[in-house]
Structure formats: C-alpha cells, structure tokens
C-alpha cells in the first residue's frame, strides 16, 4: 500500500525519489507524487494518477532540488486522482506532507478548518495535516509538526518539507513504518527498506511515537513529546540485488524458484540432532511455559492465514495441543475471549498487516502472550510480539506470497516440533520429522523441475471459467491456498472446499467446464479421497490430482515427492503455485501486481 521516500543531500533528489517510488510499486498503489525544495527556495510538486512512469512523464524539465519527498498512494479517503495524490500542501504552499496511514478525526478537523476559512484542494485526510502544520505558530518545523500531530487521532508515517526550513525533512511514525537510511553526507527516508537499499544498508527504524529530523549530514530522533531518543543504526542483511529480478521475467517466478534455498535458510542453525528437536532462539518462552500451554490460536490474513492453518495442524499433530487458525480481522472484531493458558501466534510476511497488528495489540492489552511468525525483521508485528520465529524467506516482492508461504509453514513445523519435544513427542518421532525437514529443499527442487509439465497442464485447465479445489484435513489448507493463488493472479473464479463437504452443496457446480483440483496425498485418508475423485468423475467433472502416485481416474496427475505425512502439505501446494503462475501467464495478466491487490494491507 502507500509508500514514502525522501532524500536530503547534495544530489538532485528527483531521480532518486522516482527510483525509490519504483522500488515501492510492488506494494500496490494508484497514484504518485513528488515535492522538492532547493536553492531557489519554495516548494514545487508534481502529482499524477496512475503508475510512477506516468508521474515521471509529467515532471517538467527544470524540476529539481536537493531535498524532496515522494509518495505512492493507495486510495482510502477520496478516489484515485491527481488532486488526491500526495504530497499535500497547506494554503500558502510552504508545507508539503506525504502520509501513510489514516487520520481518524480528519472529518472533524476538516470541518473546523473549513469554518475558519481554510480551503481544501483534495478529499484526503492527509491535507488536514498539511494545513495544521502550516497554521502552527511554533518556531521550528519540529514544533509545528508536533503541534499538528497532537491534534490528530489515527495512524501515520509522515515526511514533511517546509519552504522556510529547506535544510531538513521532519518525519514521524505512529503505526506506519518509517525507516531512515544513513548515507555519506546525505540521508534517505522510506516506509520500506526496498526503497533505500540501493543507496545504503545502514538504517534506523523509528518506533511508534518517535519523530526524526534529517539533515544532509546528520539525523536526530526524539519522541513526539520532544525528548531525545537513542535509536542505534542497524545493517540491512540483504543486498540490493535481492530486490532485483535476477534473470526471471517476474518476481513471482523468481520467488517460486528461490524456495529450496529459502527453506534451507529457515532451517539453518536451528536443528538440534542430539535432542531430536530445534533451537528457536527468539521464542521467549521456556520449556516450563511451553508445557503449560493449553491451546494455540493462530491469527493472520490471506496466505499467512492459510500457512497458519497448516501450522495449527502441525501443532496438533506433533505437540498434541488443540490449535486452530482464524483470520486476524475476524478475530479482532468479535471481541474474543482472551485466555491466559492460550498461546497466541500472529503470522505475517510483512509484519505490517493492519488487521493482524491490531489483533496483536488487542491481545496484549488483555494480557495475552503473543508470538510472531514473521518474515520482515524488525517490522511492527515482530516488535509488538513477545518473541517468535523469523521466517527468513528473504524479501518477497510479488504481491502474492509463494516462498514466504512455504517458509512460514516450515517455521510452524519447527515450532510444532519444539512444543512437541518438551511435551510428549518421542525422540524417534522428533528424528523422523527432522529428517523430513532436511529432505525438503531437495524435494522442492525436484518439484520445480516439473515446471514444463505444469505449464502444459495450465494451458489445458486454464481455460476454465471456474475451478474447484478440494482437500481433506492436511490437504484442505493446501487447497485453500492454491485456490487463492489462482484467483489472485489469473482472476479465474475458484473455490476451495474440504473434500468431504463437496456432496453437501458444491457438487451441484461440477460439470466439464468446472474442473477440480484434488489434493490426494498417500496418507490415511487416501481411500476417502479416492471416493471424492469418483464423485467428481461421476458428474463428468475434469480432475487434476496432486498427490504421491498416479490416479488413473484423474485427467491429469501431478506427482509430488513424499515426505513425512505431517510435512507433506508444505510440498503439495508448490506445483499449484506454478499452475496459477502459468495460467495467469497464458492469460497475459500482470502477475506481480494483480489488479485491486496490495502486498501489505496497512489499513482496516
């Protein structure tokens, strides 16, 4: 969703800001804009609905400056338009603000300002902030921003320019990420390290309630109340190339193919052969506490929720603790009973998803213990939780999740194994799971080698107007994720059902034009699943089976290497990522940036 980039230094800010915005495109947006100030004084802005390249085309020839801020907007208050794009300015034009987040009391403030005679140029909540900063009597830009922020309720990551203070950018954070990038006599700011990493890997991540002043040669952090804070710089562990496409045509293709090494990374250094368990350094719960857990509740959104469903099954199977997963949004809206003996686990690739973050905050307010299974190190959810397991998938750029989904499922296997081994999972079973985990990277590589076959199957099945995905118990989350993936990038309607539920309704939809993808592992439910295949065939439904052996009744079978039954779901979904990919490719879809979707949904 919305993205912020800022620069102050000796170079022309405009190309740097535009390049930074391009790096944030993956998050999803509908308009973009840039504001600069330079030696000639005053602030100049250019804003445009559409892609960053459309903004670039509108930047006038002599539009330059050594200080600037820029933004990609995802519409919340007001439709996508040139006027609603950020930066927003006050009436005098001296102030420019870019903002991620939502000002909850914008309506009230707008009415009050309008009554005082202030004219508004946009429908956005952000413009209110620009006017409040412009109207402040404080002597310093920091003071003006502080005063304005004291009047707003809501979430924000902001960057502010002021014509009277051309030597600085003032930024602030409350619930929306702000990262400072420290250069050599130049400073950067962004809402996501992806926009900084080309220029510097030294960063300072602001906390909620923190502000900062950036000048070309220095930065200062302080609270919104004005007291100094000591935020130490950290080094980003990934280099800039990690964000490149590396010879693939899309990020999705690259990220699918990165899975063997990504899984290797989530396992690295964590396996403890001696005690047939794993070491999870950041978990923050000791063995006694782990034994006292009565229930595990997993919350997340989208693919993270589906990975959490796999996680819940792993925890039930390996640790024998009742566990379930629920969409974080549903959880937070239903005033859940928060139980002290339940271990809550928040799952998120980005660590920023607003619904998941808000659910964590609500849980913490009610005294719950919350762990995070998160990919982005130092992200909001990683910070808010009491401990957790980092997923170590590396940066994921494509809007739809592939390698992060797989790594999250593996991270849950580690958590489940750990919980199991401090309870009653045997050494033998611990070893069996460890051996299974070790086989995963190699088996993933084997699956990826079947891509050509899957491409052919995609051409055959991809003409469907609708598809049904079915699986039983371990296969059900796999079916759900595969169905989500297909609809997200191909826009083909797809439904996922537990195979056992087919006859209770959705069977009515089965006909030759509505093919089914059935997850049929060789586990204890194989016979039941075979019956499902028969049910579908009897209604002339076409079938793509995904399992461990050939199924002659199916029109096509994708055979996946067998692992331990508990771990099989991690592998069964991977060919279906490729199926979704090749289906969308044939249809000419914008695979990395599907319509209407954003990588990180940072609003309610």
Catalytic residue among 2, 301, 398, 404: 2
Q: Of 162 and 403, which has the nearer Cβ to ligand G6P? A: 403
Using CB under 6 A, which residues numbered 100 to 159 contact ligand G6P?
Answer: none
Question: Quick one: which of 301, 323, 437, 525 contacts ligand G6P (CB under 6 A)?
Answer: 301
Is residue 258 a contact partner of residue 246, using CB atoms and an 8 Å limit?
A: no
Q: Of 48 and 486, which has the nearer Cβ to ligand G6P? A: 486
Q: Does 350 bind ligand G6P (CB under 6 A)?
A: yes
Question: Quick one: which of 349, 385, 402, 583 contacts ligand G6P (CB under 6 A)?
Answer: 349
At residue 465, the 3 state secondary structure works out as coil
| Nearest distance from C-beta of residue 405 to ligand G6P, angstroms | 8
Q: Does 577 bind ligand G6P (CB under 6 A)?
A: no
Active site residue 301: no
Do β-strands 169-174 and 179-182 pair in parallel, antiparallel, or remain unpaired? unpaired
Q: Does 303 bind ligand G6P (CB under 6 A)?
A: yes
Question: Quick one: which of 20, 177, 260, 302 contacts ligand G6P (CB under 6 A)?
Answer: 302
What residues contact 211, with CB distance under 8 A and at least 6 apart?
142, 145, 146, 170, 171, 172, 173, 221, 222, 223, 224
| Nearest distance from C-beta of residue 48 to ligand G6P, angstroms | 24
14 cis-preceded (ω within 30 degrees of 0) = no
**How many residues does this entry show for the chain?**
604
Question: Quick one: which of 18, 400, 467, 479 contacts ligand G6P (CB under 6 A)?
Answer: 400
Q: Does 601 bind ligand G6P (CB under 6 A)?
A: yes
Active site residue 599: yes
Q: How many Å apart are CA 293 and CA 419, to the nearest integer? A: 9
Q: Does 329 bind ligand G6P (CB under 6 A)?
A: no
Paired strand residues for 228:
222
Output the CA torsion sign for 488, 490, 492, 495.
Answer: negative
Of 304, 307, 357, the closest CA to residue 332 belongs to 357
Question: How many binding residues for ligand G6P (CB under 6 A)?
Answer: 17
Q: How many Å apart are CA 104 and CA 108, to the nearest integer? A: 9
Select the span of 11-19, 127-135, 300-308, 505-513 touching ligand G6P (CB under 6 A): 300-308
Q: Does 356 bind ligand G6P (CB under 6 A)?
A: yes
Question: Quick one: which of 348, 406, 407, 490 contacts ligand G6P (CB under 6 A)?
Answer: 348
Reduced 3-state DSSP string for 127-148: HHHHHHHHHCCCCCHHHHHHHH
Q: Does 538 bind ligand G6P (CB under 6 A)?
A: no
DSSP state of 184: S
| Nearest distance from C-beta of residue 262 to ligand G6P, angstroms | 15
Q: Of 73 and 480, which has the nearer Cβ to ligand G6P? A: 480
Identify the burial level of 288 via C-beta atoms within 10 angstroms of its C-beta, where 0-12 means exposed, 13-18 middle and 19 or more buried. Answer: exposed
Q: Of 418 and 599, which has the nearer Cβ to ligand G6P? A: 599
C-alpha of 240 from chain center: 19
Q: Of 494 and 520, which has the nearer Cβ to ligand G6P? A: 494
Output the CA torsion sign for 572, 578, 579, 580.
Answer: positive
Q: Does 516 bind ligand G6P (CB under 6 A)?
A: no
Select the span of 116-124, 201-209, 346-354, 474-482 touching ligand G6P (CB under 6 A): 346-354
Using CB under 6 A, which residues numbered 173 to 192 contact ligand G6P?
Answer: none
Q: Count other Cβ atoms within 10 Å, centred on residue 556.
A: 18
Q: How many Å apart are CA 449 and CA 452, to the nearest integer? A: 8
Do β-strands 516-520 and 466-471 pair in parallel, antiparallel, or remain unpaired? parallel
Q: Does 597 bind ligand G6P (CB under 6 A)?
A: yes
Q: Does 541 bind ligand G6P (CB under 6 A)?
A: no
| Nearest distance from C-beta of residue 65 to ligand G6P, angstroms | 34
| Catalytic residue ranges | 2, 599
Query: What residues make contact with ligand G6P under the rule CB under 6 A?
Result: 301-304, 348-350, 353, 356, 399-401, 597-601
């Amino acid at each position: 969703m919305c993205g912020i980039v800022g620069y102050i230094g000796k170079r022309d800010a405009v190309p740097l800001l535009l390049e930074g915005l391009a790096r944030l495109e993956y998050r999803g947006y509908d308009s973009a804009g840039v504001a600069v100030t330079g030696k000639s004084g005053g602030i100049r802005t250019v804003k445009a609905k559409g892609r960053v390249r459309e903004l670039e085309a509108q930047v006038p020839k002599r539009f330059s400056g050594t200080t600037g801020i820029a933004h990609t907007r995802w519409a919340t208050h007001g439709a996508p338009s040139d006027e609603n794009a950020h930066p927003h300015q006050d009436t005098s034009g001296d102030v420019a603000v870019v903002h991620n987040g939502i000002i909850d009391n914008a309506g009230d403030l707008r009415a009050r300002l309008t009554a005082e005679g202030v004219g508004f140029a946009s429908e956005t909540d952000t413009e209110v902030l620009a006017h409040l900063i412009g109207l402040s009597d404080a002597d310093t830009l920091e003071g003006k921003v502080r005063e304005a922020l004291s009047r707003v309720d809501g979430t924000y990551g902001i960057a502010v320019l002021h014509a009277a203070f051309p030597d600085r950018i003032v930024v602030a954070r409350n619930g929306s990420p702000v990262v400072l990038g420290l250069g050599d006599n130049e400073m950067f700011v962004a809402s996501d390290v992806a926009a900084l990493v080309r220029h510097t890997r030294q960063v300072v991540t602001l906390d909620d309630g923190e502000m900062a002043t950036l000048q070309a040669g220095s930065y200062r952090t302080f609270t919104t109340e004005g007291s100094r804070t000591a935020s130490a710089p950290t080094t980003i562990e990934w280099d800039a190339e990690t964000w490149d496409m590396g010879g693939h045509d899309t990020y999705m293709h690259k990220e699918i193919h990165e899975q063997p090494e990504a899984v290797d990374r989530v396992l690295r250094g964590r396996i403890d052969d001696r005690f047939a368990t794993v070491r999870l350094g950041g978990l923050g719960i000791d063995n006694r506490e782990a034994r006292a857990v009565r229930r595990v509740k997993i919350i997340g959104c989208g693919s993270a929720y589906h990975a959490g469903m796999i996680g819940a099954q792993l925890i039930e199977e390996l640790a024998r603790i009742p566990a379930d997963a629920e969409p974080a949004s549903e959880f937070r809206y239903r005033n859940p009973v928060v139980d002290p003996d339940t271990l809550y686990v928040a799952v998120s690739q980005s660590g920023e998803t607003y619904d998941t973050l808000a659910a964590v905050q609500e849980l913490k307010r009610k005294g719950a213990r919350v762990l995070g299974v998160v990919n982005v190190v130092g992200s909001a959810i990683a910070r808010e939780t009491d401990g957790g397991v980092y997923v170590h998938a590396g940066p994921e750029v494509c809007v739809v999740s592939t390698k992060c989904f797989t790594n999250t499922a593996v991270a849950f296997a580690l958590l489940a194994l750990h919980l199991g081994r401090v309870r009653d999972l045997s050494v033998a079973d611990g070893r069996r799971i460890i051996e299974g985990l070790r086989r995963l990277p190699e088996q993933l590589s084997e699956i990826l080698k079947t891509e050509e076959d899957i491409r052919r199957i995609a051409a055959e099945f991809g003409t469907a107007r609708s598809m049904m995905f079915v699986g039983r118990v371990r296969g059900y989350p796999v079916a759900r994720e595969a169905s989500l993936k297909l609809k997200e990038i191909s826009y083909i309607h797809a439904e996922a059902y537990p195979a056992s539920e087919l006859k209770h309704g959705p069977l009515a939809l089965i006909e030759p034009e509505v093919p089914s993808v059935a997850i049929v592992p060789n586990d204890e439910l194989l016979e039941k699943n075979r019956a499902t295949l028969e049910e579908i065939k009897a209604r002339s439904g076409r079938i793509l089976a995904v399992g461990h052996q050939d199924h002659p009744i199916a029109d096509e079978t994708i055979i996946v290497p067998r692992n331990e039954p508990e771990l099989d779901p991690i592998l069964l979904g991977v060919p279906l990522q490729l199926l979704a990919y090749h289906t969308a490719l044939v249809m000419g879809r914008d695979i990395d940036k599907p319509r209407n979707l954003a990588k990180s949904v940072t609003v309610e």
